[in-house]
């Protein structure tokens, strides 16, 4: 790690903190020197000290086609060379990209491109408020919807401050977020039908939108209980509130049509980012025509200098074509499941309590002493020390994933059997230590 250390010291002089937040996690003296990356290719990434890793972090998710997919890269370069970078004016490639997204996702009839997941969420929340004329947004503990203010909340919230499970207080809005915004948020415990129904009975008519990840990928990988997403759908419809699926992670990952296809539940609005551009920085807001009405008639201006620029639309268009390969998701889900189950059995064979929750192309191996169906369970049951050792032992054996147990492992659409075999072999060594 000599060169990484050197670069970190240099970075701190001109970059506050020296590196992005994830690279600096976990704190408290553990892993103090972030890895500096030389390059990534497909499912593998190399650091500046020449170490190669099978990569399950995938740029925090967006590299669903692995690093530097040649087809997407070539499409982007070609579009820039032939057309330019951004116009602030309409052009045909934007229509092509939107048509392909609409074709891929069952419940998305129209789509607008944006620059980041946070931005897309902020816009979706505004559209919901403008459409309903209401101001309250309901969100859930343990989920993350980006850095923008309106629904900001640390996913890894301090439960001492948050209070009761039935109705956690909107704490942890974070430094710099106006405290008044707390009044516009109601926070609930996820996967708890009772508290949701009760809230809707009490305040359903004040609620502009309910926002959720369809599976909680910002606390490991917690799946919805049977019927839970359907309940969110039926209750929001009943009270005239909008349902927003934040598919920044699940979109184009758990299935080509994301949760719409995988769970068969159709929200009013859906936000996308990681994945939609195969690693390029692009986000999107999709919705039914009815939900997009205010944008269509010009009441709500969805503006942004870089929205739908050439890089984004070329990346989206090429990515959508690649994702349409028949059998791709079935194959990669099976591959991801083989990895997940393999890790689980290696752990259990070595006397370590661990279990997997997942959706094939994204999962978490929990080191936990009880079942986890929401953030409160995760705090109560996970064994952080075991996870840290696991992370370190895998890293030295050439396998990289998010250094927090409350995140997850991403399997790209280009990982292959050799990656899985290498990872399982590394795990067999790591679990023995």
Residue span 204-243 as binding mask against ligand PMP, x where in contact by CB under 6 A, dash where not = ---------x----x-------------------------
- 91 catalytic, yes or no? no
How is residue 352 written in tokens? 């370590």
| Binding residue for ligand PMP, selected from 124, 211, 266, 273, defined by CB under 6 A | 273
246 makes contact with ligand PMP (CB under 6 A): yes
How is residue 244 written in tokens? 């927003």
Q: What is the DSSP letter of 154?
A: -
249 makes contact with ligand PMP (CB under 6 A): yes
Q: Which is nearer to ligand PMP, 204 or 220 (CB)?
A: 220
As a whole number of angstroms, the distance between CA 277 and CA 311 comes to 9
| Binding residue for ligand PMP, selected from 222, 248, 365, 399, defined by CB under 6 A | 248
Q: Which helix (H) or strand (E) holds 138?
A: strand 136-140
- 144 catalytic, yes or no? yes
Task: Find the catalytic residue in 53, 56, 144, 263.
Answer: 144
Q: Which is nearer to ligand PMP, 118 or 423 (CB)?
A: 118
* Rounded least distance, CB 146 to ligand PMP, Å: 3
How is residue 359 written in tokens? 């959706």
Residue span 93-122 as binding mask against ligand PMP, x where in contact by CB under 6 A, dash where not = -----------------------xxx--x-
Q: What is the DSSP letter of 284?
A: E
Residue nearest to ligand PMP according to CB distances in the complex: 117
361 makes contact with ligand PMP (CB under 6 A): no
* Rounded least distance, CB 303 to ligand PMP, Å: 18
141 makes contact with ligand PMP (CB under 6 A): no
240 contacts: CB under 8 Å, gap ≥ 6? 132, 204, 205
- Give the range of 105-113, 128-136, 138-146, 224-232 binding ligand PMP by CB under 6 A: 138-146
Q: Which residue has the tokens 């070329």?
A: 314
Task: Find the catalytic residue in 55, 152, 274, 329.
Answer: 274
Q: Which is nearer to ligand PMP, 146 or 257 (CB)?
A: 146
Which bin fits 395, alpha (ψ -120 to 50), beta or left (φ > 0)? alpha
Q: Which is nearer to ligand PMP, 4 or 191 (CB)?
A: 191
From residue 325, give the alpha-carbon distance in Å to each of 58, 209, 266, 331, 397: 21, 35, 24, 11, 33
- 238 catalytic, yes or no? no
3-state secondary structure of 411: coil
**Helix-strand-coil split of the chain, %, nearest 5:** 40, 15, 45
Strand ranges of the sheet holding 409-410, from the earlier edge strand across to the other edge? 355-358, 362-366, 409-410
How many positions of this chain bind ligand PMP (CB under 6 A)? 13
| Binding residue for ligand PMP, selected from 44, 134, 145, 253, defined by CB under 6 A | 145
Of 10, 86, 26, 19, the residue nearest 403 (C-alpha): 26
How is residue 300 written in tokens? 């709500």
Interface residues with ligand PMP (CB under 6 A) are: 116-118, 121, 144-146, 213, 218, 246, 248-249, 273
List active site positions.
Answer: 144, 246, 274
């Amino acid at each position: 790690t000599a060169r990484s250390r050197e670069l970190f010291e240099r970075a701190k002089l001109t970059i506050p903190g020296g590196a992005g937040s994830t690279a600096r996690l976990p704190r408290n003296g553990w892993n103090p020197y972030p890895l500096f990356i030389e390059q990534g290719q497909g499912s593998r990434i190399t650091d500046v000290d020449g170490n190669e890793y099978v990569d399950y972090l995938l740029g925090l998710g967006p590299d669903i086609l692995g690093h530097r997919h040649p087809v997407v890269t070539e499409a982007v370069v070609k579009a820039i060379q032939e057309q330019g970078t951004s116009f602030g004016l309409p052009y045909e490639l934007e229509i092509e990209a939107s048509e392909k997204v609409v074709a891929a996702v069952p419940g998305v009839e129209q789509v607008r491109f944006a620059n980041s997941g946070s931005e897309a969420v902020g816009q979706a929340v505004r559209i919901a408020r403008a459409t309903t004329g209401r101001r309250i947004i309901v969100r859930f503990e343990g989920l993350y919807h980006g850095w923008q203010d309106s629904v900001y909340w640390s996913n890894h919230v301090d439960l001492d401050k948050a209070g009761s499970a039935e109705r956690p207080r909107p704490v942890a809005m974070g430094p710099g977020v106006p405290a008044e915004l707390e009044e516009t948020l109601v926070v609930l415990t996820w996967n708890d039908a009772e508290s949701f129904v009760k809230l809707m009975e009490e305040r359903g008519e004040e609620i502009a939108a309910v926002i959720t990840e369809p599976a909680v990928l910002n606390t490991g990988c917690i799946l919805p209980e049977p019927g839970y997403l359907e309940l969110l759908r039926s209750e929001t419809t009943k009270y005239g509130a909008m349902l927003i699926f934040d598919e920044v992670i699940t979109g184009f990952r758990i299935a080509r049509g994301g949760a719409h296809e995988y769970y068969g539940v159709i929200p009013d609005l859906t936000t996308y980012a990681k994945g939609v551009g195969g690693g390029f920085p692009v986000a999107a807001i999709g919705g039914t025509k009815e939900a997009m009405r205010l944008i269509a008639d010009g009441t709500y201006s969805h503006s942004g200098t870089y929205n739908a620029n050439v890089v984004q639309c070329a990346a989206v268009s090429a990515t959508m074509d690649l994702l349409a390969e028949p059998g791709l998701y079935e194959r990669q889900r099976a591959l991801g499941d083989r990895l997940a189950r393999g890790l689980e059995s290696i752990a259990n064979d070595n006397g370590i309590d661990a279990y997997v929750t997942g959706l094939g192309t994204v999962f978490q191996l929990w080191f936990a002493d009880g079942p986890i169906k929401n953030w409160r369970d995760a705090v109560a049951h996970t064994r952080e020390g075991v996870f840290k050792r696991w992370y370190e032992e895998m890293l030295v054996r050439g396998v990289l994933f998010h250094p927090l147990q409350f995140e997850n492992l991403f399997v790209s659409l280009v990982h292959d059997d050799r990656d899985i075999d290498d990872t399982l072999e590394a795990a067999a060594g790591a679990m023995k230590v």
